[in-house]
Amino acid sequence: MSALYPLFFTPIPKERLWGGDQLQRFLNKSFQGETIGESWELSAVSGDVSVVSEGPLKGQRLDELIEKHKGELVGHDVYKRFGNDFPVLIKYIDAQKDLSVQLHPHDHLARERHNSFGKNEMWYIMNAEPNAQLIAGFAKDTTQAEYQQYLDRGAIEDLLHYETIDKGDVFFIRTGTVHAIGTGILLAEIQQTSDVTYRIFDWNRTDKNGNTRELHTELALDAIDYQKRDNHLVNYTKITNQRNSVVSSPYFTTDIVPVNGKLSVPTTTIDSFVVLMAVRGDTVIEVDGKTYPLPFGSTVLLPACLSAFSLQANQSEVLMVTI
């Protein structure tokens, strides 16, 4: 019998210039500080590796567990593909101010320059102030030369595409896409494991010491997708008590699962770990006759060796992430 069980990890707070206190107030995170912008729920990024918070494996690091349990934990196909690297980084993000306009390089460029994965990412909007906006791509097709002209004259904002958003919206941000999360947005983020970001514009602001943040305008030139694309906002259906596909990509797959009552989820056909993020309401997970609370704003990693689990709730929603 496997020693593995549903694994909860201690969230890692990240102070950001644009952060706030909604992760504490809205998601009940026990963080200290008024500018916490990110809660890293599940991470194998060097220097920020998640640590198990409960049960017999409490205190063990995610990378140590993968090295020891291999395919039993992450799935045999996943382990063949990624080895001891955990392929996704799971976060909650609180933007009390606009994030910088930025982009992420694709896999080949990221590997060549930074020995890293690229960074395709998905956002699920958990809460948003009225008329909140985000930036996703350009408002028109452009070229490197034209983009450089806008940048040089300080008019890059005029070239960007703005989306007014609502709670429940999903965006898939591909590598090369210029983007920024706007003021008053709380979201769940699923991304490839990478912390490589090219910042191209930061609203001319300074930190508490009067310093501007570093920009990566030269590095970004070869990484930007200069075409206008209309595929950032994801259309999806949402039927209660079933898995509804939201994002299916080579990097990760995400379903949204609205739960009302009890739902059994077989996993024998999934050769992958499962990450569950509680994005609305409280849910209870049952595995092998044992129950585990999954409160709103929490995250759990279900090892691949578990053959099934069930979810029970009175009107909740869970994001289900696999590879």
d(CA 166, CA 128): 6
Q: Active site residue: 16, 25, 113, 199, which one?
A: 199
188 φ, ψ (degrees, to nearest 5): -100, 135
Alpha carbons 241 and 16: distance in angstroms, whole number: 37
280 tagged catalytic: no
Cβ-based neighbour number of residue 33 at 10 Å: 15
The vertex-136 CA angle with 134 and 139, nearest 5°, equals 110
Q: Which helix (H) or strand (E) holds 107?
A: helix 107-114
Place of tokens 């983007």: 179
Strands 185-192 and 88-95: antiparallel
Contact 19, 94 (CB under 8 A): yes
- Tokens encoding 315: 């009107």
- Residues 77, 272: contact at Cβ < 8 Å? yes
259 and 307 Cβ atoms separated by less than 8 Å: no
**Going by C-beta distance under 8 Å and a sequence separation of 6 or more, which residues neighbour residue 117?**
85, 87, 107, 110, 111, 192, 193, 194
Instruction: Please list the active-site residues.
Output: 199
